[in-house]
Amino acid sequence: MNVPLLDLVAQHQGIKDTVLPAVMSVIERQGFIMGPEVGQLETQVARLSGARHGIACASGTDALLLPLRTLAMQPGDEVIAPAFTFFATAGAIHNAGGRPVFVDIEPGSFNVDPAAVEAAITPRTRAIVLVHLFGQMANVEALAALARKHGLMLVEDAAQAIGARRKVDGTWRVAGELGTVGSFSFFPTKNLGAWGDGGMMVAQDDALADRLRRERLHGGSKEYFHDEVGLNSRLDSIQAAVLLAKLPYLADWGVRRRAIAALYDAAFSGVEGVTPPPVEAANEHIFHQYTVRAERRDDLLAHLKARGIGHKVYYPLALHMQPCFAYVGVGRGALPHTERAADEVVSLPIYPELTSAQIDAVIAAVRDFYQG
């Protein structure tokens, strides 16, 4: 049986009767830029993220770049970030004029280690970027405390974590709520995906939100008058309409992803050689990815391929070892948990439309590999 890593066509079949009319209304109106859908989506994503403001933009990458650009970094200014993440986390730091300072992860959650962040703070540090990797929140409360203590911006890269929650002192906190800025991506394969590129920043601070609203529109507070140079980074009204139509499904999709993860966890706990992803007791994971550690990982990849089981290694080469970041001067061996994760992980199909037969096929393929 063929099981794709993700099946967006299956999702579309289930929801097209609600999404297509929403898109058609934008087309009939021919109102493609900054239509009312954008503001509505901003309000709803801000509410979902426990934030006062939502500011839509053109991609998740820009949702990281725009807040970092407000720091007006000078050569040598540093931004601390994990090296085990998608490239955009560090690309945005570089493109905002900062120097990425890569730190290690905690081996269980794959998320950045707050102690490593603290040890990396210098007088040149301007910001910390955390990543809620694979849909499980990082220790945002520890990092927010560090950021406060040192007067740093804290950017939450929540591209994979929309709606993820974490109990802090007995209260649920949502991805995007506790950072200076939370950055979301609506790339089509994310848990809430558009029909193209899209992103969103959320923030609590009124002045910063106003600044970000200007920065995404060429830096002008009023059309044709510019105090600073910004970007052209808007979310199209069509994309906003798609996302507004999909948003009501997001919570149920999350429940289904967690249920599938529980089935995988139960099946793999009895298989020597594969380790299910540990979820911290404080966290509600949204399982953007279901990422296991696997012994003889590369042989497993070949086996899954032969069996038609979708899979992908997120991420095979840590960022401190990318040729473009050689200038940062951190080589192999510097971040052992990160490097080990890159060698051991593989992500398996997890999306709401998976059938039980498909789930069984994934489980059987992994089991057969280790138990012959």
Ligand X SMILES: *Cc1c(COP(=O)(O)O)cnc(C)c1O
Q: Which residues bind ligand X (CB under 6 A)?
A: 59-61, 85-86, 88-89, 131, 157, 159-160, 185, 187, 197, 199
Q: Is 331 helix (H, G, I), strand (E, B) or coil?
A: coil
Q: List beta partners, residue 293.
A: 275, 345
Nearest approach, Cβ of residue 198 and ligand X (Å): 7
Nearest approach, Cβ of residue 4 and ligand X (Å): 19
Distance between CA atoms of 165 and 289, rounded to whole angstroms?
A: 16
10 Å Cβ neighbour count for 54?
A: 25
Q: What is the DSSP string of 238-287?
A: HHHHHHHHHGGGHHHHHHHHHHHHHHHHHHHTTSTTEEPPP--TTEE---
Nearest approach, Cβ of residue 57 and ligand X (Å): 9
Q: Which residue's CB is nearer to ligand X, number 111 or number 160?
A: 160
Q: Which residue's CB is nearer to ligand X, number 138 or number 366?
A: 138
Nearest approach, Cβ of residue 302 and ligand X (Å): 26
Nearest approach, Cβ of residue 96 and ligand X (Å): 14
Q: Which residue's CB is nearer to ligand X, number 86 or number 369?
A: 86
Q: List beta partners, residue 110.
A: none
Q: List beta partners, residue 174.
A: 165
Nearest approach, Cβ of residue 282 and ligand X (Å): 21
CB-CB contact of 110 with 341 (8 Å)? yes
Q: Which residue's CB is nearer to ligand X, number 187 or number 351?
A: 187
Q: Which runs of E-coded beta strand occur in the chain?
A: 53-57, 78-82, 99-103, 125-131, 153-157, 165-168, 171-174, 181-185, 199-203, 220-222, 225-226, 274-275, 283-284, 290-294, 345-348
Q: Which residue's CB is nearer to ligand X, number 86 or number 268?
A: 86
Hey, what are 60's tokens?
A: 């998740």
CB-CB contact of 184 with 199 (8 Å)? yes
Hey, what are 357's tokens?
A: 């037969």
Q: Which residue's CB is nearer to ligand X, number 192 or number 292?
A: 192
Nearest approach, Cβ of residue 357 and ligand X (Å): 29
Q: Which residue's CB is nearer to ligand X, number 254 or number 366?
A: 254
